[in-house]
Amino acid sequence: MFSVDEFKKSRLYQSIRDEVLEKEKSEIIANLLNKGFTVEAIADIVNLDVDKVREFIEKRSLKAHLR
């Protein structure tokens, strides 16, 4: 049986955690974009490079919002 600490070190846990964090950031980026925030402001808020935020927008077909 795994302890909680051992489980948190497992690849399964890390993978799930990374997926959840990525999904949350994606939702936050989409919401901020829809509220009219600039790409630069969004990058600052979610602690990502501007290029990463632009990449997200392009992947999600939100280019109309890109400034």
Residue 2: is its pLDDT beyond 90? no
CA pair distance 11, 48, nearest whole angstrom: 24
Residue 67: is its pLDDT beyond 70? no
- Asked if the structure places residue 4 within a domain, the reply is no
- Domain range enclosing 67: 22-67
Q: How confident is the model at residue 61 (pLDDT cuts 50, 70, 90)?
A: low
Report the number of distinct structural domains present in the chain.
1
Which pair of structure tokens corresponds to residue 37? 């925030």
Which pair of structure tokens corresponds to residue 62? 């939100």
What separation in angstroms does the CA of 55 have from each of 16, 22, 65?
22, 13, 13
Residues 11-58: tens digit of each pLDDT: 998 999 999 988 888 899 999 999 999 999 999 999 999 999 999 888
- Asked if the structure places residue 11 within a domain, the reply is no
- 63, 30 Cβ separation under 8 angstroms: no
